[in-house]
Amino acid sequence: MRLSHDELKELMKNKLKKAGLSEEHADMTADVLVWSDERGYHSHGSVRMEYYSERIAKGGITTAPKFDYQVTGPCSGVLDADNGIGYVGAIVGMERAIEMAKENGIAVVGVKNISHSGAIGYYVEMAAKAGLVAVSMCQSDPMAVPYGGTEPFYGTNPIAFGAPTADDRNVVFDMATTVQAWGKILDKRSRNEQIPDDWAVDEKGRPVTDPNKVNALVPISGAKGYGLMMMVDVLSGIMLGLPFGKHVSSMYHDLSEGRNLGHIHIVMDPSRFTDMQSFRKNMSTVLDELGAMQPAEGNSKVYYPGERALLRKEKQYAEGGIEIVDDIYNYLISEDVHYDRYDHKNRFAD
């Protein structure tokens, strides 16, 4: 099934409202979800809708949160999002960071007590569109074995980076610190597809290709990915006074409880460090030079971070709209809020 941007957003927005979100928060959340689906990040798009709706309906997300933003220094602030939907907390936190960075040159804004916040590339793109450079990261529940370990300890703990150029291109880099995000495996499950054998392991640490037999994910590049996982957890968890490491709340254990996750935005104004016009020009030059490079065998070109996502977006709309699997579409158009599929499941929704 293929849908236009507005069609998909309206379906998700209506479902979130039916689950209990306000008009404003449903609209903001649906916008991020469509952003993900149209760029081919289906693991962080509509495939998540039923889970969010179930948690909202069961009280695990505050539907009318009272945000409390405290400026803690000339370049720092903390937003307590009162267990609201993660997307809104992350957006509001980035808006505050953008304002502070424009005024003072740099901003570090922590967002605490939120639920899952999806594809964090969306938030750094907000900063890039405002002419700023941003790094964003957030913690997640344990599902990856640390380097040399046997039990899940850290989450996929993603990191994103965004920067503007002299034209309409923005660099948007968004990565999990695992070889793949859990959402990618969830997407493969929904499509009844196998996964590569370097994404995850079973109970004995053996590589698996069946997405239904995954016991734990693995960090990127062994010890290096493990170190990045720890860094993200320190900055977005311990530094905000939140649960950390293996103590981070489970996505599926009890959907009636809040998750108290942490997210941090670091935003910088390039004009405080160099001439802004030169910065933008040099950024564009970098992208041009990368694109002009002779590609390696088997590759069509060298893409800048975020370029392939935009090409997937263009391709989807050229082919009639955003592609959504039938099961998800049927759920979105149904009268049901959810089907009790996720509550009290393990970290992989089993």
Residues 41-74: tens digit of each pLDDT: 998 999 999 999 999 999 999 999 999 999 999 9
Catalytic residues: 116
Structure letter (DSSP) for residue 202:
-
- DSSP reduced 3-state for 22: coil
Instruction: Tell me the C-alpha distance between 262 and 235, whole Å.
Output: 9
Question: How many CB atoms are closer than 10 A to CB 151?
Answer: 10
Using alpha carbons, select from 20, 79, 12, 80 the residue that is nearest to residue 44.
12
Domains recognised in the chain with CATH numbers: 65-272 (3.30.1370.60), 276-306 (no CATH)
Which residues fall within 8 angstroms of residue 100, CB to CB, at 6 or more apart? 71, 75, 77, 107, 109, 267
Phi then psi for 142, rounded to 5 degrees?
Answer: -60, 125
Q: In this structure, are residues 33 and 16 in contact, taking their beta carbons and an 8 Å threshold? A: no
- DSSP reduced 3-state for 336: coil
pLDDT in tens, 255-305: 999 999 999 999 999 999 999 999 999 999 999 999 999 999 999 999 999
- The per-residue DSSP string of 65-87 comes to ---EEEEEETTEEEEEEEEE-HH
Q: Strands 133-138, 170-175: parallel, antiparallel or unpaired by DSSP?
A: unpaired
Phi then psi for 133, rounded to 5 degrees?
Answer: -105, 140
Instruction: Tell me the C-alpha distance between 83 and 33, whole Å.
Output: 19
Q: What is the pLDDT of residue 204?
A: 79
Q: What is the pLDDT of residue 215?
A: 84
Q: In this structure, are residues 264 and 110 in contact, taking their beta carbons and an 8 Å threshold? A: yes
Distance linking the first and last C-alpha atoms of the chain: 27
The Cα angle at residue 143 between residues 140 and 149, in degrees rounded to 5: 120
96 burial via Cβ count (<10 Å: 0-12, 13-18, 19+):
buried
**CA distances (Å), 241 to each of 70, 95, 155, 236, in order?**
15, 22, 17, 9
Using alpha carbons, select from 120, 88, 102 the residue that is nearest to residue 236.
120
At residue 85, does pLDDT exceed 80?
yes
Tokens at 262, concatenated: 């942490």
Q: What is the pLDDT of residue 246?
A: 95
pLDDT in tens, 91-119: 999 999 999 999 999 999 999 999 999 99
Place of tokens 């935009």: 310
Phi-psi region of 118 (alpha: psi -120 to 50; beta: other; left: phi over 0): left
Instruction: Tell me the C-alpha distance between 207 and 198, whole Å.
Output: 6
Phi then psi for 173, rounded to 5 degrees?
Answer: -115, 125
Q: What is the pLDDT of residue 33?
A: 98
- DSSP reduced 3-state for 262: strand
Q: What is the pLDDT of residue 205?
A: 79
At residue 349, does pLDDT exceed 80?
no
Tokens at 127, concatenated: 């900063």
Q: What is the pLDDT of residue 150?
A: 79
Instruction: Tell me the C-alpha distance between 5 and 21, whole Å.
Output: 20
> What's the mean pLDDT when you consider all of the chain?
95
Q: Measured over all CA atoms, what is the biggest interatomic distance in the chain, rounded to whole angstroms?
A: 55
- DSSP reduced 3-state for 199: coil
Q: What is the pLDDT of residue 294?
A: 97
The Cα angle at residue 263 between residues 259 and 269, in degrees rounded to 5: 165
In terms of pTM, does the model score above 0.75?
yes
Which residues fall within 8 angstroms of residue 64, CB to CB, at 6 or more apart? 22
Overall average pLDDT of the 158-168 stretch:
97
